[in-house]
Each structure stands twice: as C-alpha cells, then as structure tokens.
Amino acid sequence: MGGHIAYLAATEFDLDAVAVFYGGWLPTTDISISRPEPTLSLTPKITGRVLFLVGEEDHLITPDQRREIADALSEAGVRHEMVVYPGVGHSFLTTDPAASDDAWRRVHTLLTGD
C-alpha cells in the first residue's frame, strides 16, 4: 500500500517529487483510503514530478490500469515517468536485482537531479 500512499500524499502536499513503487488500487475504490472516489481522480492536485515504478507482471496493476494512470497524469499536465520492468511482478525490489538497481538509480536522479 506504500505506493498508493505516496501517490495520495502527492495529491495532498506540495511535493517537488514523489517516487511511487507498485502503486496499486489507484483507479479503484477497493481499499478504504481510495474512497469515496478513486485516488486517481485527485491527480490534478499533484504539483510535483511523479516517478511511477511497476513490474510488468504486477498482479495489482493491470496494463489497462497502467494506461489509465499514465493518461490521468498526462491529462493533468503532471511531469511524470512510468517505468514498467519487463518480466517482474510486485515487490521486484526484493526479487530482481537488475530492476531494483535501475529503480534506485532513477529515484536518486529524481531526488538529486543527477
């Protein structure tokens, strides 16, 4: 749920940047913090950059949901990057060293500008 909370925080606080790992349930009301409207509907309130990191095989975030999230960010004019790691699922930080290394490199760049 951490990725969802990071995305939600970006809608409520004036953050320069946020990294979202495995941001599930954003376009749904399946969990209590995404009610009464899906958290994704709050996307226009995001003021900073969003780095969205997800595994291609993540069981919580379907390809259609990834497109919906990317479209919402684009339509709201939010500077963002969605990175989909091929062949990996949820929690890839602990299961795939190559994806993990790349993700942390991207987070470092996001936060430091390097």
Compute the Cα dihedral for 90, 93, 96, 102 and give only its sign. Answer: positive
Kindly report the pTM of this predicted structure: 0.96
Distance of CA 75 to the CA centre of its chain: 16
Please provide residue 19's backbone torsions phi and psi, each rounded to the nearest 5 degrees: -105, 125
pLDDT digits (tens, 9 = 90+) for 29-54: 999 999 999 999 999 999 999 999 99
Encode pLDDT of 50-100 as tens digits. 999 999 999 999 999 999 999 999 999 999 999 999 999 999 999 999 999
pLDDT of 20 above 80: yes
* DSSP designation for 61: S
Beta-carbon contacts of residue 87 (< 8 Å; ≥ 6 apart): 55, 56, 57
Is pLDDT at 114 greater than 90 in this prediction?
A: no
Containing H/E element for 93?
helix 92-95
Q: Cα–Cα distance between 81 and 73 in angstroms, integer?
A: 9
What pLDDT does 40 receive?
98
Q: For the chain, give every domain's residue range.
A: 2-112
Does domain 2-112 bear CATH number 3.40.430.10? no
